[in-house]
Amino acid sequence: MKTIVILATVLAAVLAYPADTYNPRYDNFDAEELVSNKRVLESYGKCFLDKGPCTAEGNDFKKVIPEALRTSCAKCSPKQRQLVRIVINGFKTKTPELWEELKNKEDPHGEYRETFEKFINASD
């Protein structure tokens, strides 16, 4: 589940913002382009798993993934929620094995999976 949040948060792209939301710096991040390129998507996944190098964006996303997972992206703006959902669904459909690794890394006991899945499947 954390993996989902991680990816969602990563694509939702947010550095902790001094306010009640994440930094909008990456709100124009092209999540569709990321998801359409399996090689790049896998590269981000490896970054999140500490199994490969990270881009600057990947490092920034990685920092907020744990909190975003625990809170179902409570600090995400509507745009960031949309980006997170795109990325998470990309991981789930295009790299399911990597998605499982991400979930197990970020939420090894499955504490957040049910609420995070509800967030991912919501349409707000």
Q: What is the pLDDT of residues 68-108, one digit of tens each?
A: 888 999 999 999 999 999 999 999 999 999 999 999 999 99
Calpha distance 118→20 (Å, rounded): 22
Structural domains of the chain ordered from first start: 2-121 (1.10.2080.10)
Residue type for position 61: F
CA–CA distances in Å: residue 122 to residues 22, 82, 103: 20, 10, 19
CA–CA distances in Å: residue 30 to residues 33, 42, 82, 83, 116: 5, 16, 11, 8, 22
According to DSSP, the residues that pair with 39 across neighbouring strands are none
Residue type for position 77: S
Q: What is the pLDDT of residues 57-77, one digit of tens each?
A: 999 999 988 888 889 999 999
